[in-house]
């Protein structure tokens, strides 16, 4: 069960990373910095925040508080990223830090206590907390990208009006135990 949790969590983090990347790929460089208003965030600002959060939370994950002294959270919400290259550099650095922290974990680590701002979490709770946090921001990235894309939007899920065909295809297969992202992983390697 616990090994399933770790494997599933890693697959979900990778899945959400991929969804955001597919959304950002559909947006011009200029639109990565578009903000609806002064109180909203651009895709670039969301990426910058995720980068800062990931580096803070996952560096020395099992041994240091997840809110590092060197983190400047307020600066994450300033317009500091200058271009797509810098955006992707930070994006990849954040995700690499997260995945390097998660991959070596084993079942015996899941009940260990880690701290975020001195608040104790089991490793399982900390992973779940960050998974929900990152998924919400990926949803924001997708929503913004869909609004500002200049080309017809390439859906990241089941296309509108295609649910019946999708379900027929799935129900034509034999029942099997698999993670829903297994198909995504298969597509990625082809």
Rg (CA), the chain: 18
Per residue in 138-155, pLDDT (tens digit) is 999 999 999 999 889 999
Q: Which CATH architecture has domain 2-152?
A: Up-down Bundle (1.20)
139: exposed, middle or buried (Cβ count in 10 Å: 0-12, 13-18, 19+): middle
Residue 19: CB partners within 8 Å, gap ≥ 6?
A: 138, 142, 156
Domain ranges of the chain: 2-152
pLDDT bin (cut points 50, 70, 90) of residue 14 is: very high
pTM: 0.92
Rounded-to-integer distance, Cα 64 and Cα 55, Å: 12
Mean pLDDT of the region 111-116: 98
């Amino acid at each position: 069960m616990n090994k399933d949790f770790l494997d599933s969590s890693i697959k979900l983090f990778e899945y959400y990373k991929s969804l955001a990347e597919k959304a950002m790929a559909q947006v011009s460089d200029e639109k990565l910095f578009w903000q609806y208003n002064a109180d909203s965030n651009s895709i670039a600002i969301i990426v910058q925040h995720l980068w800062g959060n990931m580096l803070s939370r996952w560096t020395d994950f099992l041994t240091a508080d997840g809110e590092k002294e060197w983190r400047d959270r307020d600066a994450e919400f300033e317009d500091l990223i200058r271009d797509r290259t810098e955006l992707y550099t930070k994006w990849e650095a954040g995700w690499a830090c997260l995945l390097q922290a998660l991959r070596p974990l084993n079942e015996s680590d899941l009940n260990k206590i880690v701290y975020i701002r001195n608040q104790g979490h089991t490793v399982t709770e900390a992973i779940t907390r960050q998974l929900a946090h990152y998924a919400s921001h990926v949803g924001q990235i997708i929503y913004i990208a869909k609004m500002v894309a200049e080309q017809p939007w390439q859906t990241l899920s089941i296309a509108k009006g295609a649910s019946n065909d999708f379900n027929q295809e799935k129900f034509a297969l034999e029942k099997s135990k698999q993670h829903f992202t297994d198909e995504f992983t298969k597509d990625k390697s082809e």
